[in-house]
């Protein structure tokens, strides 16, 4: 199979199984891209995810577009985008038609309530995997402080998460002393 076909199948699986929006799709993309096909390692995926989160728009399409292009060029980009979006488009049409027909039924309300904990566990699992990677030495302390400050900023000061993401992106792009020292010693 060609890489473009693998991209299409991979993002089709993500698109068809990623019920609940972009955040619930991220662990599925990780599984396909890092663990199954090994198109990138976990650290590179974390960087791509951080950048995709900082940019406006749906997270899955940004990930699909970048990964598709990186792995299989322009054809991979098109295949990844179409494969990730089309299942959702078709399912939304089908689900809305079904919801209109059966919206008064008790089992429909139960189904929508039951899916929320599943999505929360998937996102929590991915967050835990990323936290473990950053838990080496000073990285653990920095991650813990950043998490605490983020929670305080959002919960107590009602800072919009987009502003917090923008601030973190700016901080991440600032030059670090370690980099300057390493470059000077080379």
DSSP secondary structure string for all residues of 104-131 = T-HHHHHHHHHHHHHHHHHHHHHHHHHH
Distance CA 176, CA 171 (A): 10
In a domain, 57, yes or no: yes
- pLDDT tens digits, 5-52: 999 999 999 988 877 777 788 999 999 999 999 999 999 999 999 899
In this structure, is residue 186 part of a structural domain? no
Is 77 a member of any domain? yes
**Are 14 and 28 contacting, i.e. CB atoms less than 8 angstroms apart?**
yes
Q: At what angle do helices 59-102 and 42-54 cross, to 10 degrees?
A: 70
Instruction: Look at the chain and report how many structural domains it folds into.
Output: 1
Largest CA distance in the chain: 70
Cα–Cα distances in Å, from 67 out to 8, 105, 140, 174, 186? 11, 41, 28, 25, 33
Closest CA to 87 of 97, 95, 98: 95
Q: Is residue 138 part of a domain?
A: no
- Does residue 179 form part of some domain? no
Question: Domain for residue 126, yes or no?
Answer: no
pLDDT of 179 higher than 50: no
Q: Three-class SS of residue 148? A: helix
**Model pTM above 0.85:** no
Q: Do residues 68 and 79 lie in contact, with contact meaning Cβ atoms separated by under 8 Å?
A: yes
Helix, strand, or coil (residue 157): coil
When mean pLDDT is compared across 54-63, 81-90, 126-135, the lowest value belongs to 126-135
Domain membership flag for residue 58: yes
Domain extent at residue 77? 3-105
Structural domain includes residue 166: no
């Amino acid at each position: 199979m060609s890489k473009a076909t693998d991209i299409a199948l991979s993002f089709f699986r993500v698109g068809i199984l990623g019920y609940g929006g972009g955040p619930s799709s991220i662990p599925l993309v990780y599984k396909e891209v890092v663990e199954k096909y090994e198109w990138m390692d976990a650290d590179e995926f974390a960087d791509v995810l951080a950048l995709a989160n900082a940019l406006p728009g749906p997270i899955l399409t940004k990930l699909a577009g970048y990964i598709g292009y990186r792995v299989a060029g322009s054809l991979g980009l098109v295949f990844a985008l179409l494969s990730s979006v089309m299942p959702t488009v078709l399912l939304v049409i089908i689900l809305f038609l079904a919801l209109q027909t059966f919206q008064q039924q008790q089992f429909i309300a139960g189904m929508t309530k039951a899916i929320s904990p599943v999505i929360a566990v998937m996102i929590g699992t991915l967050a835990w995997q990323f936290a473990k990677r950053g838990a080496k030495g000073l990285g653990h302390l920095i991650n813990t402080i950043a998490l605490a400050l983020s929670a305080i900023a959002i919960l107590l000061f009602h800072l919009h998460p987009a502003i917090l993401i923008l601030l973190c992106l700016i901080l991440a792009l600032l030059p670090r002393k370690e980099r300057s020292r390493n470059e000077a010693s080379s």
